[in-house]
Amino acid sequence: MSIQVFRLNFRLRTGFRVGGGQEVGDNVLRQLRIGADEVMIPASSWKGMFRRVSEIIFNSEEHFEGHSKKEVDVKTINTLLKSDEKFRRIAISEIGKDVITQNGINVDKLDSGSLTDLMKLYNEYNCPIERLYGSNYFAGGITISDSVIRDSRIMERIHVTIERKSKKGSEGHLFGEEIVDTEKIEVRVIVRNEFELWKNTLKFLKEIGYFIGGSKSRGIGYIVLDEKESEYAVINNVIETPKFTELREYLS
């Protein structure tokens, strides 16, 4: 099985803030830090951003409804249980050995609750979004690094809370926000399945871009993929050394 490895570089013009919360007695939205000189975008923030872009591209009503409305008959689920060992192992773990046997579904033990869970598991297992990013039942096929930015300048912007009815600033509701002033962020990604969806996700980020972190409504965190500064490699054997080439070849 081949895997794809990426070194992705994103351009920024508005800076970003990935929340580190507020300190007690402090009225400033802080950036997540590592020590005194480094700031970080955790893998979870990257994953949320990538997943949201993939969902926009995939545009599936069934996915957005939580895979709960599409009914699947027992025969169809049984066919997958018998042909896909990974799916069978997940089903045993989630539904139980008394319902999922070596020969498929034991209908005598299958109640309405188990059938609902089994249908949802089947639908999620066959959803490209869930297969790539993970679901309630199984891990996804993507691994993402944290991004650590060193020696970047941090600015503090002052904002005021606006009352929705009066459209005026709330008295005594000034607060600050830390913004990391940097022009480039790098993140590393390993992808093991759903390569076409992932490629289209990167194309969207190259052509349109998206937001990461907080204060999106104020335009903070807008990033665009730089295909010239990004690289990828395809690995067919885990012991081979990756041979990276420009991402533009992958996206062409």
Give the list of residues 6+ apart from residue 35 with CB closer than 8 angstroms, or none: none
Q: Give the pair of three-digit tokens for residue 65.
A: 């409804």
Residue recorded with tokens 């490629």: 199
Q: What is the pLDDT of residue 171?
A: 53
Q: What is the pLDDT of residue 161?
A: 56
Amino acid at residue number 48: G
Distances in whole angstroms, Cα of residue 124 to Cα of each of 78, 120, 241: 16, 6, 34
Among candidate residues 8, 7, 19, the one with its CA nearest the CA of residue 180:
19
Among candidate residues 97, 94, 126, the one with its CA nearest the CA of residue 113:
94
pLDDT of 15 above 70: yes
Residue-averaged pLDDT of the chain: 86
DSSP 102-148: TTEE-TTT--HHHHHHHHHHHHHHT-HHHHHH--SSS--SEEE--EE
Q: What is d(CA 147, CA 43) in angstroms, rounded to the nearest whole number?
A: 7
Mean of the pLDDT values across residues 87-99? 93
DSSP strand pairing (169-181 vs 28-31): parallel
Q: What is the pLDDT of residue 24?
A: 46
Residue recorded with tokens 């508005």: 14
Amino acid at residue number 81: L
Question: What pTM, to 2 d.p., does this model score?
Answer: 0.84
pLDDT tens digits, 238-250? 788 889 999 999 9
Q: What is the pLDDT of residue 169?
A: 46
